[in-house]
Structure 1
Amino acid sequence: MDDLKFGTRNKRGDWAPNQPAETAPLFAFPPRLMAILKWLPHYFFPWNAIFAASAIAYWALVIPSMETMQTLGIGWAAWLYAVNAICVLLFYGAFEVHLYVLKRQENRFKYNGKFPSEQKNKAFWFERQNVDNMLRTFLSGVVIWTAVEVGMLWAYANGYAPWLSFAERPWTIAAVALVVPIIHEFHFFCIHRLIHTPFLYKWVHSVHHNSVNPSPWSSLSMHPVEHLLYLGTALYHLILPSNPILMLYQLHYAGFGAIPGHVGFDKVEIGGDKLIDSHAYAHYLHHKYFEVNYGDALIPLDKWFGTWHDGSAEGEAQMQARYRRRKEKLAARKTRMEVTGAAE
């Protein structure tokens, strides 16, 4: 597959798509009906359908009985941790092996031309990004994922969360299922802006941003506080008219859904001329520039708040202009403080 038909590569070997990143047309005004209809299949396939199917499979094959979950216990919590860890290992590992270990498509469609394994970095445990990212994923990420899952299932089993059956309220359940990605996007944008405040960035979010060149295991490589904030998206179902399957879908959308944004490749080759779009470009630009694209472009929140970067020259100019305005504002504030101090 010739990736230069879809983008360009610079002298460093970094690849960028020809088309700038776009926000979904769902919230465009005036409404663009044809654009929405053309985009709609991408809302479901492949990623959202995978995460929804995994939630259904969990409910059918993994989740203990309601009677068991009425009482918090180490046994069933450990069972869920084991299943979550195995599924993360298989799902994340499949991308890691295909793209980074076997390098089956070499660096075709790879945003950053280098592979993390090629460089040691003291920012990571054992100076290895992959080792650090994997340990943080299993020692903190999957632990907190399981804790949220256990807490929510216990709440459902004891009647503390609203539980609607599909037979009784099919349209309500369908509506909530449709907005699960929108709930995630809103939640992610809000907590992401929060942890980019100076104090929380330094002590919490910088752990995730150590992976400037993200790879699959970077997806859940976070500080425990960020894991709790990020995976806490499932807690909305304590007040939403919902049920355990939709709560699991919400949790899987966050846990498994972190992969596409961190896979490091714009497209994944799956044999022959078949490609799967990762839709990772906007989030890759966030890892590259830090202060843009706090959301995932489903809702144009970054456009509304002036932090959107689509990867184009215009987007770069807007970002640099924003940096200059902030620098000028800080300089003016410093001057005022100096003048005030001198006057006193």
Structure 2
Amino acid sequence: MSDPVSKDWNYHPDLPLADPSIFVWPPRAGFLARWFARNWLSLSERVMMVLLAAALWLWVYPDFSVAATWQWGWVLHVWLANLALVFICAGALHWYFFMRKGQGMRLKFDKRDMAKGNALWSFRNQVHDNMYWSLGSGVFFLTAFQVVTMWLMANGYALTITPMSNPIWFVLSLILLPIWSAFHFYWVHRLLHVPLLYTHVHSLHHRNVNVGPWSGFSMHPVEHLLYCSSLCIHWIVPSDPILVLFHVIYLGPGAAMTHTGYEDLLIKDKRRLALGTFYHQLHHRYYECNYGNQEMPWDRWFGTFHNGTPEGTAETRARKKQMYS
């Protein structure tokens, strides 16, 4: 297969970027059916996350009932499980794409490798810096929101359901949680681009102009606090342990998947698993554009969409100059 290349990118999809959002008017029945089939009726990354969440609930994480009382044992158990989860997922992706070079440069957006020997990074190493923030602050805040959620559910302060007692709402919740996360991420992200917060907080994540699996969850503690607050939805909307764990996986390991720097995982020259998006890669390079993701059309509605073309780059640079003038 031949990959589109340019002077700016090792690879990019067809440009200008299409609009894959399900929030278009009037609704398109055929498009919605294909979107649902692609995301939920195939072995997609979301279905894999749900299966992983169910397996972890059965065999790894403590039963939510133990969270009725605060004890360091179960809290430590959750933290260790989250630490292992993030380490294995991000580590496996990094090993395959950047150490083993399992896919070479196929479908890799940026031409560069991970940075080394640069004082910009803690330990003068991009990967080690990213690991430090992901496994330290990232796992801490992911665990903090999870254990509070477990305590609320165990004590009846947060309403709970089960797949058997309310199967329709359970399935709807699985579909809606990524959409909620995209909504939450966009507005938190816009807040983090306020100059004061960007300079002192979000700039740490944006050191990753060229991203890798460890970059996705590498953030300042304040950003981790805001990002992981997406889990608060389970405090007010009836939920289930599998839904909570799916959400935890979506926020933690999911960030590693979307920041691999590659568009898809290739197996025998066929795209088998969607990973990073060029949409978000543009944000890491040009900053003041594409704050959300493609599922929610906020960037298109608010004029911050970069379609990947040179004209889109010129518009983004002009907007950035105006913002900081």
Aligned to 2:22: 26
Q: Which moved more, 1:263-272 or 1:46-55?
A: 263-272
Aligned to 1:148: 145
Aligned to 2:59: 61
Partners of 2:29 and 2:318 lie apart in 1 by 34
Aligned to 2:179: 182
Pair 20,260 (structure 1): closer, same or farther in 2 beyond 3 Å: farther
| Counterpart among 35, 49, 56 of residue 39 in structure 1 | 35
Aligned to 1:49: 47
Q: How does 1:261-340 map to 2 (within 5 A)?
A: 261-323=258-320, 326=323, 330=325
| Counterpart among 89, 96, 99 of residue 98 in structure 1 | 96
Pair 275,244 (structure 1): closer, same or farther in 2 beyond 3 Å: closer
Alpha-carbon displacement from aligned partner over 1:50-89 (angstroms, at most 9, x marks no partner): 2212221222112323442111121111112112111222
| Counterpart among 191, 194, 197 of residue 194 in structure 2 | 197
SS in 2 for 1:269: strand
1:317 CA drift (Å): 4.0
Q: Which amino acid aligns with 1:142?
A: V
Percent sequence identity over aligned pairs: 34
Partners of 1:50 and 1:182 lie apart in 2 by 17
8 Å CA contact 2:3–2:11 kept in 1: the answer is: no
8 Å CA contact 2:182–2:296 kept in 1: the answer is: yes
Aligned to 2:213: 216
Alpha-carbon displacement from aligned partner over 1:188-219 (angstroms, at most 9, x marks no partner): 00100011101111111111001111100001
1:36 CA drift (Å): 2.1
Aligned to 1:335: none
Q: Which moved more, 1:223-232 or 1:54-63?
A: 54-63
Alpha-carbon displacement from aligned partner over 1:85-144 (angstroms, at most 9, x marks no partner): 112222111110111011122222211111014x42212101100010011111111111
Partners of 1:115 and 1:66 lie apart in 2 by 42
8 Å CA contact 2:286–2:317 kept in 1: the answer is: no
SS in 1 for 2:120: coil
- TM-score (norm: length of structure 1): 0.88
Q: Which moved more, 1:126-135 or 1:312-321?
A: 312-321
Partners of 1:298 and 1:267 lie apart in 2 by 17
Q: Which amino acid aligns with 1:298?
A: E
Partners of 2:168 and 2:183 lie apart in 1 by 22
Aligned to 2:167: 170
Partners of 1:192 and 1:38 lie apart in 2 by 29
Q: Which amino acid aligns with 2:132?
A: L
Partners of 1:65 and 1:40 lie apart in 2 by 31
Aligned to 1:79: 77
Q: Which moved more, 1:139-148 or 1:36-45?
A: 36-45
8 Å CA contact 2:87–2:135 kept in 1: the answer is: no
- TM-score (norm: length of structure 2): 0.92
Partners of 1:15 and 1:304 lie apart in 2 by 27
Aligned to 1:334: none
1:326 CA drift (Å): 4.6
8 Å CA contact 1:260–1:280 kept in 2: the answer is: no
Q: Which amino acid aligns with 1:53?
A: L
Partners of 2:317 and 2:212 lie apart in 1 by 27
Partners of 1:313 and 1:67 lie apart in 2 by 55
SS in 1 for 2:251: helix
Give unpaired runs (5+ residues) of structure 2.
none
Give unpaired runs (5+ residues) of structure 1.
331-344
Partners of 1:95 and 1:302 lie apart in 2 by 29
Larger-Rg structure: 1
Provide the aligned C-alpha RMSD in A: 2.0
Partners of 2:276 and 2:125 lie apart in 1 by 26
Q: Which amino acid aligns with 1:147?
A: A
Task: State the number of aligned residues.
Answer: 323
8 Å CA contact 1:109–1:267 kept in 2: the answer is: yes
8 Å CA contact 2:161–2:240 kept in 1: the answer is: yes
Partners of 2:149 and 2:123 lie apart in 1 by 35
1:207 has 2:204 as partner: yes
